Amino acid sequence: MTNRQIIVQDIPKGALSQDHFALQSVDMPRPEKGEVVLRTLLMSIDAANRSWMQGATYREAVEAGDVMATYAISEVVQSQSSRFKPGDIVASESRWAEYVAWPAHKCQKMPPVPRLENLLSVFGIAGKTAFHGLVQVGRPIAGETIVVSAAAGSVGGYVGQIGKAFGCRVVGIAGGSEKCDWVVNHLGFDACVDYRAAGLFKALRDACPAGIDVYFDNVGGAVLETTLAVMNERGRIVCCGAISQYDDAAPTGPRNLPGLVVVKRLRMEGFIVMDFAKEDAKAVRALQSWVEDGKLKVEEDIVHGLENAPLALIGLLAGDNKGKRMVRVGANPKGVA
């Protein structure tokens, strides 16, 4: 029995491409004391994966020669720990690999859910990021206007739908008219603006006649700059990501910063989903109730096969996903849907 894994061959200077990765066949991992061997079922594909290659952040950098890092749902297949037994389903940081040996204390046992995919989408990082960022950082009030970029993406789609559940006007920003239509007609946003079309400022101002109170920023760059110009006084900018900057060798900053932050008394605040781990149970309870009430549509974009993970990430950075992207690596164990 062998294991397959994907390493980062070179750290990209500009756009990420398949050449930066290499697929390897290696020996099966052997667990040390306190470790488990995990069989990867589903790997989360996130823009953050790309930012990890830019240097140390809230976690160590991913460097050339490393097996690519990910967050994953896995099945325990061997255990050198009293915490887990074979067959357990866990969530943990992991690697782009079919099997990894991993410290048991860094794995979290997952509750039985109808679909494991939901543990990466609505009840996973995507849903929790949207909830904590919007609710705890953005603090919207019914009647306010929320704008969210990457609105067809996993986090953005939930942000808008949660905003609607709060009684806000919700405007998305997405790339291309087809995606914008989907955001409005399928996800139920009030409007969606195409950032690739000309006249973003005017389109945004028209879509937000009362200005913007909360901007949930997944992209940074020119879209952030334009949004700042439409923000209301005492508006909040939730800084969740800067996907437009990750592949950019010469990023540009918003030229109206910090000037507009001063005169409009804006609050710009960054967060990482783990910062609110203590409140995850509250988030999941709220997300479950909105799903049951039909207020939250769960969109999943599943790519099959470990070998397709590089393309799945490259495509995500180019914005070709709708909903939460993940890679299915191994089949679910018997008895798990």
The residues binding a copy of itself (CB under 8 A) are 51, 57-58, 217, 220, 224-225, 233, 237, 239-242, 245, 251-272, 275
CB of 261 to a copy of itself, least distance (A): 4
d(CA 188, CA 199): 24
Residue placing its CB nearer to a copy of itself in the complex, 213 or 300: 213
Nearer to a copy of itself, 9 or 57 (CB): 57
Distance CA 211, CA 146 (A): 9
At 10 the three-state DSSP class reads coil
User: Of 101 and 239, which CB lies nearer to a copy of itself in the complex structure?
Assistant: 239
Nearest distance from residue 270's CB to a copy of itself, in Å?
A: 4
Minimal distance, residue 130 CB to a copy of itself, in Å? 15
Nearer to a copy of itself, 83 or 267 (CB): 267
* Shortest distance in whole angstroms from residue 193 CB to a copy of itself: 19
What does the chain come to in residues?
337
Dihedral over alpha carbons 296, 301, 304, 309 (to 10 degrees): -120
Structural contact between residues 168 and 145, judged by C-beta atoms closer than 8 angstroms: yes
Other CB atoms closer than 10 Å to residue 64's CB: what's the count? Answer: 11
CB of 63 to a copy of itself, least distance (A): 17
Q: Which two tokens stand for residue 286?
A: 């709220």
Find where tokens 């952030």 sit: 224
Q: For a copy of itself, which is the closer residue by CB, 31 or 235?
A: 235
Minimal distance, residue 242 CB to a copy of itself, in Å: 5
Question: In the structure encoding, which two tokens stand for residue 110, read together?
Answer: 């997952």
- Provide the sign of the torsion angle of the four alpha carbons 150, 196, 244, 229, taken in this order: negative
Residue (34 or 259) nearer to a copy of itself, CB: 259
- For residue 291, how many other CB atoms are within 10 A of its CB? 17
> Which residue reads 């490393």 in tokens?
66
